[in-house]
Amino acid sequence: MLRAWRLLAWCAVGPLFLYLWWRGRREPAYRQRWAERLGRGAVPAQQRHGVLLHCASVGEVIAARGLVHQLLADPHWGPVTISCTTPTGARQIAADHGDRVLQRYFPIDTPGATRRFLQALQPRLVLLMERELWPEFLHQAQWQGLPVALVNARLSERSAQGYRRWVRLVGPALRSLRLVLAEDAASAQRLQALGVSPQRLQITGNLKSDVQAGPALRQAIAARRAAIGARPVLTAGSTHAGEDEALLAAFQRHLATEPDSLLVLVPRHPERFAPVAALLAASGLRTARLGDGEPAWSDTQVLLIDRMGELMLWYGVAEACFIGGSLVPRQGHNPLEALCLDKPLLTGPHTANFATVFQALEDADALLRVADADAVFTQWHALRADPAACSARVARGRTVHQALTGALQRTLDSLHPLVAPFDLQAGAPPRVHQAGGSTVWADGALFAEASPALFDPEHWRQRGSVQRLDGGRGQVHRVADAQGRYLLRHYYRGGLMARVSRDVFLHRPVPASRAMQEMQLLGALRRHALPVPHAAAARYQRAGLGYRADILVQEIPQATDIARLMDRERNLSDAEWQALGRVVRRLHDAQCFHSDLNCHNLLLDAQGGAWIVDFDKCGFRPGDDWKAANLQRLLRSLRKELRLDPSFRWNDSRWAIFTTAYEADPRSALAPTASLP
């Protein structure tokens, strides 16, 4: 299914750019920054290794305001980049956050575009707002080991039905998510039915419930209201085709009894501005467009808001607010922006998108639900005719709103464990040397050049010392110089293929070769403070139609694998088994599959810190299904050592201590178990 999606995405590239060019006739910004749509564009160094937040457009950008402010206020998160798909979203990001964030267009969901986008940003954490699930993007993030969380997740029954038809594509995308923060129980149940693990699913509430009107907004509301004067104002927000026509016709009838009324229309999408303006021109009403300048308030009957991002301002100006998308089957829009301004709310019958909030308001008698456009104005008249009842209704709405708040803090608390202490140096690009068929990558902080001599034991004998070690199926040398001690390992084949070729592997691109893959994986894990060795250098050596490979890693000081400890020295303490359980849990929480998780590859240092080594043929893997089998592999290795040597210090009762620590609250698993050199 992913291959089919890729083919579809590639085929859609041309039509997409034609669409952007066509949209650019009315909105020139659609014809700009096309390189970003392909994942291209330089990223300032200071903006890398932070949080990437993707918001589809204006609504999501506004909903994420509080979250972004909190991310920027705490250096724990690092720099913030916000992506979107529309120029209106980009303008809203600039208006809200200025140059405090980096803004980029989200790439087309092709392998090349998403890979370039993520490699340029190198984020520590990716946050997707509400329902932005792009299969290729999530696949690339998974294989780069990036934690991805779906925030403010909302899934209506109608959307869930659509996802169920594409469950073979959507299911893996959902399972790749590290965390899903749902806004209500109904959304959580639907997401779980589509494959989200209950262990990764939390109900944190709707971030929009924490939207507040700041002093600047309240001042702007007061200024607008003073300009309008004492006229009664109704704001119809986020309206759609079909609603605008019905509301205008009903408003004309309403004017017969209340001629001083002002209707403020705020269409949901900018492409509706021109059609609604045409409707107004044909209606015979005295109308004005905000984009044409300050209207004549005493004469205007209908004001069209043709600028994005001002909905809360015009909700605040009004005496009552109608929530659009509810007279037509668009299933309603967010009522919380009007609710936080202490306004009485009116809505049509279609409110499934925010069913939980609307139901809470209806249960508290804080909402007026109407059947048609005429009833909107009838109920507005009733609200104005009984100020005491209107004030009581607003007070009940305020109580509901207060009960809904707190989603922002719950969201931050849930996300915090995903961002472990971060090693920027581990993300530095290596030095590269290429000559003939040899390619060498080396850490520039350790070596002045990426020399092939780093993989020659004789070179190390001349500089310091060399000791040949027992390395399983092949050779491992402990080498040292004045700068430190390293383990030099040559890659060998195993199994039946070793009879054909002992150390030559089938051709792969250099970055995908065994040594380079392991070096990149170790770098990614160390950037997230996982206790794994530091890869100092790696070599690819062409050999006919294949290649040979070597890797040089820093030796972990005073560390011994637990198989050697239990065989030759002592029993492990409960605290040591707990440290081992936590470190394996951290590895699994990072979605890293260790292909050879056994007791020889788990180490303890002199301070009791736990380490994991030997990441050949390992990598990031989505989902959770493989983790139990990975643990069983470790258990089998311990039992195997006991079968081979009855004096081996192991019994299965120790496994319960290990698994209890493994299964503990994942937040505790983020506590470092070793100090990285």
> What's the pLDDT tens digit per position in 534-582?
999 999 999 998 999 999 999 999 999 999 999 988 899 999 999 999 9
**Which pLDDT band holds residue 59 (cuts at 50, 70, 90)?**
confident
Token readout for 170 is 């959507």
Name beta bridge partners: 218: none
pLDDT the model gives residue 518: 95
Nearest-CA neighbor of 145 among 667, 594, 639, 651? 594
Indicate if the pLDDT at residue 669 is higher than 60: no
According to the model, what pLDDT value does residue 64 have?
A: 94
Average pLDDT for the chain: 91
Q: Is the pLDDT assigned to residue 667 strictly greater than 50?
A: no
Q: How confident is the model at residue 419 (pLDDT cuts 50, 70, 90)?
A: confident
The mean per-residue pLDDT over the stretch 644-660 comes to 93
Q: Running DSSP on this structure, what letter comes out for residue 75?
A: G
Between 73-77, 108-112, 671-675, the lowest mean confidence (pLDDT) is in 671-675
Per the CB < 8 A criterion, the answer to whether 542 and 624 are in contact is no
**Per-residue pLDDT at 292 exceeds 70:** yes
Q: What pLDDT sits at residue 422?
A: 61
Q: What is the pLDDT of residue 569?
A: 84
Compute how many other C-beta atoms are within 10 angstroms of the C-beta atom of residue 484.
Answer: 15
Predicted confidence (pLDDT) at residue 252 exceeds the cutoff of 90: yes
Q: How confident is the model at residue 668 (pLDDT cuts 50, 70, 90)?
A: very low
Which helix (H) or strand (E) segment holds residue 484: the answer is strand 484-490
Q: What is the DSSP letter of 77?
A: G
Q: Percentage of the chain with pLDDT > 90?
A: 72
Residues 6+ apart with CB under 8 A from 242: 327, 328
What kind and span of H or E run contains 656?
helix 653-662
pLDDT digits (tens, 9 = 90+) for 365-410: 999 999 999 999 999 999 999 999 999 999 999 999 999 899 999 9
Residue-level pLDDT at 470: 67
Rounded CA separation 289/307 (Å): 9
- The arithmetic mean of pLDDT across residues 262-268, rounded, is 96
Exposed/middle/buried for 420, CB within 10 Å: 0-12, 13-18, 19+? buried
Q: How confident is the model at residue 666, as a pLDDT?
A: 52
560 φ, ψ (degrees, to nearest 5): -135, 140
Which residue type occupies 658?
F
- Say how far apart CA 513 and CA 539 lie, in whole Å: 9
Q: How far apart are the first and last CA of the chain?
A: 43
The Cα diameter of the chain in Å comes to: 100
Question: Choosing from 36, 60, 132, 518, which is the catalytic residue?
Answer: 60
Nearest to 336 by CA among 88, 68, 59: 59
Whether residue 251 is predicted with pLDDT greater than 90 in this model: the reply is yes
Structure confidence at residue 426 (pLDDT): 57
Lowest mean pLDDT among 141-150, 167-176, 347-356, 463-472: 463-472
Give the pLDDT band (50/70/90) at residue 268.
Answer: very high
**Residue type for 22, please?**
W
Residue 308 banded pLDDT, cuts 50, 70, 90: confident
**Per-residue pLDDT at 664:** 83
- 60 included as an active-site residue: yes
Among 620, 628, 581, 623, CA closest to 602: 581
Q: At what angle are helices 407-415 and 65-73 packed, to 10 degrees?
A: 50
pLDDT in tens, 195-205: 898 888 999 99
Asked if residue 675 has pLDDT above 80, the reply is no
Reported residue count of the chain is 677
Dump pLDDT digits (tens) for 82-92: 999 999 999 99
Question: pLDDT at position 498, please?
Answer: 64
Q: For residue 436, what pLDDT band results from cuts at 50, 70 and 90? A: confident
Angle between helices 157-165 and 185-193 (to 10 degrees): 10
pLDDT value, residue 670: 39
pTM (2 d.p.): 0.77
**More confident of the two residues 1 and 192:** 192
Amino acid at 387: P
**What percentage of the chain reaches a pLDDT higher than 70?**
96
pLDDT band at 674 (very low <50, low <70, confident <90, very high): very low
